Structure 1
Amino acid sequence: MLHFLPHALRGVLSALLLALNTLICCWPLFGVALLKLLLPFPAAQRALRFAMHAIAETWIDVNKFWMNQAGATRWDVQGMEGLDMRHSYLVTSNHQSWVDILVLQYLLNRRMPLLKFFLKQELIWVPVIGLCWWALEFPFMKRYSKEYLAKHPEKRGQDLATTRRACARYKSNPVSVFNFLEGTRLTPHKHAQQQSPFRHLLKPKAGGIAFVLDAMGEQLDGLVNVTIHYPGSAPGFWDLLCGRLEQVVVRFDKLAIPAEFIGKNYDQDEAYRLSFQQWVNQLWQAKDTQLDELRRQYPG
């Protein structure tokens, strides 16, 4: 509908619709979250979580609407068969742009339980949306460097404790726990700085999903491994708002989680840690090869 407008004007209108959508949806979300604090009973908590998820799914539906109006994206998607709203999943993906998040929400909304992202603790202070993430029980993680932990060993294991608390809340409702294994967006500088052994990926950080498997592995129906490719180059968020997201290629691969990786302590069991890291590296090597094939098939 907006395709006849200049790209910059589409971007402004899309940004206004996103902001308005967020402001409208946040108030009922905060109201339900307050009610959940006042009614600490399991049945009430479960029902109110469903209500909050429905509000978030409506927010995503509206975002899908303005994305469709702003541009004419060609979607090439395979592998979504077998996903449903009844089961819980662990989900991961390669990470190139902030657009990745809206792409995943666009494709997965109402096809599987609401994605719950691992977020840096500082993001809770983002105006409005930070409180929305808190109300929706997204896990906020505080990362410590190895140097800091050497000086403050009492902080070791706090990420696992945070993950356990978050996952304990997820046991009453189906959930999709999402983690970008690379931990940050791919850039040429980061790739060179890491001396990454992969051509199109940063090194994966296995600890985050290992903590999830420790806390709620028995509840998960599988690992959904997502590969995203943007022919040409990765778009920025402004490109998405302006309708310049021309084509997105996405491949989903639902994998069984090996039984030996469930309920183990990643921090304290060195043999398990090495075995799990090898498994994750094999997944990443396969993803790197898949991205090679997608780049040849969809050069842009």
Structure 2
Amino acid sequence: MRWLRVALIIPLVVVNTLVHALPLLAVGVLKAIVPLAPVRRACNAVLVALAESWIAVNSGMIDAFTPTAFKVEEEGALHRGGHYLVLANHQSWVDILVLQKVFNRRAPFLRFFLKRQLFWVPVLGLAWWALDFPFMGRYTRKQIARNPELGRRDMEATRRACGKFRDIPVSVMNFVEGTRFTPQKQASQASPYRHLLKPKSGGVAFVLDAMGEGLHALLDVTIAYPGGRPSMVDLIAGRVPAIRVHVRQRPIPPELVAGDYQDDRAFRARFQQWMNALWQEKDAQLGRLLDGAA
């Protein structure tokens, strides 16, 4: 029965993607070849409306075809016209669907920082490009140490992306662990957290530096899967009994908005201390969500 559900839902997801992606790509091309501000603004509005419609249909299919129970707790009201930095823990590709379902048409459209290789994903890669998703090199600390130019390259890519976001409502999404959580990764990096990997602060610092006072708040999102970390097939097959999400709005410390994270050691230490404290709280919150106490 579960595999029949998968066989029925996947074609619907493909059709939904094509129905929305093809006009989205057409509008994206128009935006690229007619670089006039009024045209860009009009195209951006159409692109976001198409993307939000695509997400709404996907979310509707999750509600209609799976038994998954969503429990969402929020601290603070969301505003569709705002500018947010969104930080979340990362365990599965399901996280993206969860974030889209929670925030769609309630907060500004989510833009993710993506690995450069994802540009080549059929259809979706071009759709992400049309929607101004930033594509990053995602270099390791060792690679940057050997070639500092790589770090500056990602920083410039972040600045270019955030420059586009200044004039439109946006939720800039960052999975600061840099990769999906597994017990093996947790052990290999000797993570001090029970449920999380170590946070990587550089990308967050670059966004705060690039967008400055333009960000209204930080949305601290904790995602929990009490039944275990799921795959996308698990969700479609109805093997995810519950998903719990906690959203907390936090002020962004003004002293961390602008600073030289790459070359100022004192600033970098303060920034990492803030991130580590935030992650310590998230680890405790995730434990409560998994235990069902929150």
TM interval, shorter chain, is over 0.9
2:247 to 241, 252, 255: 252
The equivalent residue for 1:109 is 104
Residue of structure 2 in register with 1:218 after alignment: 213
TM-score with structure 1 setting the length = 0.94
- What is the CA deviation profile of residues 41-62 of structure 1, one whole-angstrom value per residue up to 9, with x for unaligned ones? 2222122111101000000011
Match of 1:83 among 69, 78, 93: 78
Shift of 1:78: 0.8
- Report if aligned partners of 1:217, 1:263 keep a CA contact under 8 Å in 2: yes
Alpha-carbon distance in 1 for matches of 2:142, 2:90: 26
1:11/1:238 contact within 8 Å kept: yes
Matched residue count: 294
1:236 is aligned with what amino acid? Answer: S
Equivalent of 2:291, from 291, 296, 300? 296
How far apart in 1 are the matches of 2:149 and 2:277?
33
* 1:67 maps to which of 41, 62, 70: 62
- Alignment match, 1:154: 149
Residue by residue, what CA displacement relative to the aligned partner does 1:67-111 show, whole Å, maximum 9, x if unpaired? 112112212111164111010100011111111110110111000
Alpha-carbon distance change, 156 to 94 in structure 1, aligned in 2, over 3 angstroms: closer
Map residues 89-168 of structure 1 onto 2, 5 A cutoff.
89-168=84-163
CA displacement at 1:17 relative to structure 2? 1.1
Structure 1 Cα separation of the partners of residues 190 and 102 of structure 2:
32
Give the structure 2 partner of residue 56 of structure 1.
51
**8 Å Cα contact 1:117-1:138 kept in structure 2:** yes
**Is 201-210 or 10-19 further displaced after alignment?**
10-19
**Corresponding residue SS for 1:78:** strand
CA RMSD of aligned residues (A): 1.5
Give the Cα–Cα distance (whole angstroms) in 2 for the partners of residues 47 and 88 of structure 1.
Answer: 19
Residue type matched to 2:216 in 1? Answer: D
| Rounded Cα–Cα distance in structure 2 between residues aligned with 1:75 and 1:156 | 39
Cα distance, 1:147–1:79 mapped onto 2, change above 3 Å: closer
Identity %: 49
What is the CA-CA distance between 1:298 and the residue it aligns to? 6.0
Matched AA of 1:249: R
Of stretches 30-39 and 50-59 in structure 1, the one that deviates more from structure 2 is: 30-39
Question: Deviations along 1:173-220, whole A, 9 cap, x unmatched?
Answer: 110000001111111110111110000000000111110000003111
Question: Matches of 1:225 and 1:205 in 2, distance apart?
Answer: 15
CA offset at residue 297 of structure 1?
2.3
**Judging changes above 3 Å, is the alpha-carbon distance between structure 1 residues 148 and 94 closer, same or farther for their aligned structure 2 residues?**
closer
Counterpart in the other structure of 1:268: 263
The change in CA–CA distance for 1:47 and 1:233 in structure 2 (over 3 A counts) is same
Which SS does the other structure have where 2:39 is aligned? helix
Pair 1:31-2:44 in alignment: no
Letter paired with 1:284: W
- Helix, strand or coil: the match of 1:50? helix
Q: Which residue of 2 aligns with 1:3?
A: none
Match of 1:225, SS? strand
Give the gaps of 5 or more residues in structure 1.
Answer: 1-5
Q: Is residue 143–residue 159 contact of structure 1 (8 Å, CA) maintained in 2?
A: yes
The answer to whether structure 1 residue 232 and structure 2 residue 265 are counterparts is no
Structure 2 partner of 1:21 = 16
